[in-house]
Amino acid sequence: MSSKADSISTQQWAQLQKIFDQAMELPAEKRASYVELACDGDEKLRKQTDALVIAADADEELVGDLIRTAADQVLEKSTKTRSQIGSFKVIDVIGTGGMGVVYLGQRIDDEYKQQVAIKILHDGLDSEEALLRFKTERQILANLSHPNIARLLDGGQTEDGLPYLIMEYIDGVPLVAYCDQRRLNVSKRLDLFKQVCSAVASAHRSLVVHRDIKPGNILVDSNGVPKLLDFGIAKVLSNRFEQSDLAKTQLGDRLLTPDYASPEQVQGGAITTSSDIYSLGVLLYQLLCGTRPFRLVNKTPAEMEKIIISETPLPPSKAVGTVKERTDASRAIAADRRNITVDRLQRRLAGELDYIVLMALKKEPQRRYVSASQLAADITRYQKGQPIIAVRDTRRYVAKKFIQRNKIPAAAAVVLIGSLLGFSLMMYQQAKTIAFEKSVSENALDFLTEVFESSTPGALQKEVVTAIDILDVGASRVEQQLQEQPAPRATLQRIIGLAYASNNRTEKAYVHLRQALEIRTELNGIDHPYTADILQNLANLHLSEGQVEQALPLFKQALDVFRNSVSKRFFKTNKSKGQRAIKVVLADLSIAYRSVGKLELAEQYQRDAL
């Protein structure tokens, strides 16, 4: 492919890439026949594609050499045919992508000196789809104004009809390389990253998702200011530009960068601002520990997709020291580039920085940071020694995952501890107001004793007694023995309902929570915090089942009750408890609205919670 006779045009190169990518997704024995069919008699194209396929099976570096050679030929052809674009003369080629070339340009007239970056479509890639994508990028840039986003200065068409963009020229270095070359410590890296978050947040406020956030698209200029570039595959979240969603998401189409792409991108799912949050998480991971969350080298597109979707990344602090592929020398280099030792870097990243990065990298979009601004704010809180959002989310999630992995022992623990705690609290409160302390204690002890005596293998005629068996016995005993004691019955039925819910016994959970709600409403009224607790439990159960419409009114009703209760007697001695209750419901409402894509409402409730 290096000889003049074998030179390849831009259009042929695009066709070759597509056939090669699709061939590599097939079993090895079917690739040759597919390439022959796809090339449709073009012998030159078939030979070039076969060469790439054979090389890919044998040597990853050889594939890279072949691709670079082809790309160099494309650039050589483009450079020779472009000496002037608009009112700027072409100085040099400074970058290339799958669809276009970026030149360094300089004004032709002598009015004033100005260097610019000129982006233009490759010759031959002037299809209707390519033109629309290019024009959409131009319109996006025209509507973005932020100190950390490269500015659009002008645009137009060449004499042969190809569109071009005149952009601010950033004489800079890619973000990660900039930090490494200057041996910036963790704090300075975080400060630069927050500026990138600010740029992304600005784009999101304009309803633009970048979709290709990576170090190469963030240049740091001579003043140390990072600039976000290349909105070529950005997605507009409204139809105001009359843009169809052109940017494909298949790995084989090379319109995303797998190392930085979110799970929903590689699956072809719905793309929202959360996709950029994930990419920011990958970028932050690399800035902090010197590697990316997943190793995708030498992997097929299908293997990449599986890894991104299903594998859980190591915390950055662990990636510094425990990744098998990293030698002692590479770890030492990574630490030295952060002006620190390996051990100290691990300690610095462990804990809250791990939590922040991993929250941005959640597989589920709704569980990531709500916005780039929220991610940056959490970093600021970390730097100031304040509590961060990510820790709370992680602990709750770890607890939930533990219960899912250990359903039987966890459910037994919930029943036992919950019952003891519920009865202890009940007995303490009643002991202060009535004169039957002894009888209440004895009744509680009798109830617990009977539950466990009735749950032996002999009593249940079973070889092995599970936690669900004990739970069923307790549920039955509550209904039978506490008919005349509504307060303890409501407390226990709520605990049992939550235990059933944690063990995926949804129907039984609904029954006990609704009965607890009915009793509490009759005892304390609908406007009592005890009642609001159960409303919130029911709402979360609906939400876990994806029943957002049923969950929302219950959350809002609980919120109203808690807010009213703060100023009433119930919370007079402990207002912070009431405020915590309000905060939790607000956060739940934010999660509910985020799960159905109502991001403005989600952000509103999250801000109220903060």
> Which residues are catalytically annotated?
212
> How many Å separate Cα 603 from the centre of its chain?
16
The helix-helix angle for 342-349 and 273-289 (nearest 10°) equals 150
Q: Reduced to 3 states, what is the DSSP secondary structure of residue 286?
A: helix
Q: Across 4-139, where does the E strand assignment appear?
A: 84-85, 88-96, 100-107, 115-121
Question: CA 536, CA 101: separation in Å to the nearest integer?
Answer: 55
Contacts of the segment 398-407: beta carbons below 8 A, 24+ positions apart: 403/502, 403/503, 407/467, 407/502, 407/503, 407/504
Question: CA 460, CA 457: separation in Å to the nearest integer?
Answer: 5
Q: What is the DSSP letter of 233?
A: T
Question: CA 78, CA 95: separation in Å to the nearest integer?
Answer: 12
For residues 311 and 294, the answer to whether their CB atoms sit within 8 Å is yes
Determine how β-strand 163-168 pairs with β-strand 208-209.
Answer: unpaired
Q: Per the structure block, which two tokens stand in for 458?
A: 């002999």
Residues 6+ apart with CB under 8 A from 287: 175, 176, 179, 189, 192, 193
Contacts of the segment 575-583: beta carbons below 8 A, 24+ positions apart: 578/529, 581/529, 581/532, 581/533, 583/609
Q: What is the DSSP letter of 4?
A: G
Question: CA 202, CA 209: separation in Å to the nearest integer?
Answer: 10
Strand order in the sheet with 100-107: 84-85, 88-96, 100-107, 115-121, 163-168, 152-157
